[in-house]
């Protein structure tokens, strides 16, 4: 360990953001990459504790204390190599991962945790600058072929691992570009697409075959996939949005969050959207229903499109700002989050239920809402009840529904395969990630349910391990 008193000498200093007045004028990355000395200082705060709980909470098992120590010692290339052992895309998780590891950092018991995610990003950007991230095609091929359906984080991680094992990997994506939710669901101000394209180009040079604009189950039939490939991995995500079926839902001006974000990303990429399909917040009173990260992304996009005002509603109570007895360390705490989008303006309100949409001439103009309260019953379960006399209205020209997702899309490929499902409608597998049909595996959100990018990568890596074992009888890939 470089400096056993580093955490006593330095305070936590997270990555800086560009000024609000500047960044809301464009979709450029909001954060400013840290300098070398800044990262070395923050890495020195890692205590090299005897039991590093950051390992415990990281789904991909990053060697966090080890590469923090290497950064402090100015051994950046070794840090990069160690990081690459467990994470296929550190430059992406370093930008958008919610950093579960930081919430379980031992230093966080009575101080501010180490800036693990910022340090991760600094290592990877240094690696790209120095030219250490090079294509490394496998030395020999196994003679086996695998098709991966879907090119989000789970699909890409699975494809990368299987390619490393020497298999011929072909990825099919129904969109016109590779990346899935990384490309179309995450705004550029959080994940600039140059960072994604940079990695995809490396994967191509390593031998992975990408095919876009191919809708598996429609353009590609199941019979073809089964006959052509030795194994099939489904990683198509959980794409059916949860709706709010209340009075007035059919009014125009009400949109699902992912429809809004996908279109915004396409526009930033230079695509022209027909006027009748355009979803634009310019000059409008925008209401985002749903208080999660996706809702926050919608707030950030609406700021940049020039919304007149923005309100984000959440039906649950406002989370605490610090840990309480219900969520002790090292559990992941449900704390109040102020994303970069919230810092740019707008208003948030909690414990609000939307009862109906009110319109004029077929277009939404108001929301009829009410306050709700949560009361614990004798069973210990909390029950939501409307507060009598708490009704109020909110003016709105545009409403975005950010209520999460229900399940994978059942039409097309899944409908044709007729795979077993769990009670939530996700693809059911064994511990080996194999579905109810032999040689067909599933991973990511369509297997786990809607989750985080780091869990998607973990699922893709684990599925690859089991697919490799299925094909070869054993696997030298890591199990996570």
DSSP string, 339-353: -TTGGGS-EEEESEE
Buried b (16+ CB within 10 A) or exposed e, 259-293: ebbbbbbbbbeeeeeeeeeebbbeebbbbbbbbbb
Q: Could you give the CA distance from residue 479 to residue 461 in angstroms, rounded to a whole number? A: 7
Q: What is the mean pLDDT of the chain?
A: 95
pLDDT for the residue 441: 98
Average confidence (pLDDT) over 351-366: 98
Q: What is the pLDDT of residues 87-136, one digit of tens each?
A: 999 999 999 999 999 999 999 998 999 999 999 999 999 999 999 999 99
Buried b (16+ CB within 10 A) or exposed e, 397-411: bbbbbbbebbbbbee
Question: Is the pLDDT score of 231 beyond 70?
Answer: yes
Kindly state the average pLDDT of the residues 360-369: 98
pLDDT value of position 2: 62
What confidence tier does 49 reach under pLDDT thresholds 50, 70, 90? confident
Which residues, in sequence order, are CB contacts of 415 under 8 Å at separation 6+? 217
Residue-wise pLDDT tens digits, 401-425: 999 999 999 888 888 898 999 999 9
φ, ψ of residue 206 in degrees (nearest 5): -85, -5
Mean pLDDT to the nearest integer, 263-287: 96
Average pLDDT over residues 243-263: 98
pLDDT reported for residue 410: 87
Q: Is the pLDDT of residue 66 over 70?
A: yes
Euclidean distance between CA atoms 389 and 411, whole angstroms: 44
CB atoms within 10 A of CB 390: 14
Strand pairing report for 352-360 and 363-376: antiparallel
Greatest alpha-carbon span in the chain: 71
SS3 287: strand
């Amino acid at each position: 360990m470089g400096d056993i008193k580093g955490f006593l000498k330095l305070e936590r200093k997270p990555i800086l953001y560009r000024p609000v007045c500047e960044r809301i004028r464009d979709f450029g990355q909001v954060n400013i990459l840290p300098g070398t000395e800044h990262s070395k200082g923050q890495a020195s705060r890692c205590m090299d504790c005897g039991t590093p709980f950051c390992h415990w909470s990281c789904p991909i098992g990053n060697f966090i204390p080890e590469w923090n120590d290497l950064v402090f010692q100015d051994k950046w290339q070794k840090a990069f190599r160690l990081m690459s052992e467990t994470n296929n895309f550190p430059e992406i998780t370093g930008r958008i991962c919610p950093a579960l590891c930081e919430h379980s950092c031992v230093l966080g018991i009575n101080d501010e945790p180490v800036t693990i995610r910022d340090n991760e990003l600094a290592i990877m950007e240094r690696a790209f600058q120095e030219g250490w991230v090079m294509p490394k095609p496998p030395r020999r091929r196994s003679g086996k072929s695998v098709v991966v359906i879907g090119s989000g984080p789970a699909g890409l991680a699975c494809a990368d691992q299987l390619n490393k094992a020497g298999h011929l990997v072909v990825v099919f994506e129904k969109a016109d570009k590779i990346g899935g939710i990384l490309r179309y669901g995450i705004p550029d101000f959080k994940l600039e697409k140059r960072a994604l394209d940079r990695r995809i180009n490396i994967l191509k040079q390593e031998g992975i075959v990408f095919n876009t604009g191919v809708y598996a189950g429609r353009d590609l039939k199941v019979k073809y996939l089964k006959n052509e490939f030795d194994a099939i991995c489904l990683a198509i995500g959980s794409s059916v949005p949860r709706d709010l079926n209340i009075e007035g839902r059919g009014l125009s001006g009400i949109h699902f969050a992912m429809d809004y974000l996908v279109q915004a990303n396409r526009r930033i990429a230079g695509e022209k959207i027909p006027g009748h399909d355009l979803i634009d917040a310019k000059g409008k009173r925008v209401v985002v229903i749903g208080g999660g990260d996706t809702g926050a992304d919608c707030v950030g996009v609406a700021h940049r499109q020039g919304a007149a005002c923005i309100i984000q509603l959440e039906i649950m109570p406002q989370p605490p700002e610090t840990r309480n007895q219900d969520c002790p360390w090292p559990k992941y705490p449900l704390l109040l989050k102020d994303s970069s989008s919230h810092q740019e303006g707008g208003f948030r309100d909690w414990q609000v239920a939307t009862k109906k949409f009110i319109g004029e001439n077929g277009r939404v103009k108001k929301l009829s809402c009410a306050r709700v309260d949560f009361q614990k019953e004798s069973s210990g379960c909390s029950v939501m009840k409307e507060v009598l006399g708490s009704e109020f209205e909110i003016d709105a020209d545009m409403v975005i529904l950010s209520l999460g997702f229900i399940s994978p899309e059942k039409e097309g490929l899944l409908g044709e395969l007729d795979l077993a499902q769990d009670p939530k409608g996700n693809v059911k597998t064994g511990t080996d990630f194999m579905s109810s049909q032999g040689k067909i595996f599933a991973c990511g959100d369509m297997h786990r349910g809607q989750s985080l990018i780091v869990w998607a990568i973990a699922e893709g890596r684990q599925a690859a391990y089991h697919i490799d074992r299925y094909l070869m009888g054993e696997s030298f890939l890591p199990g996570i």
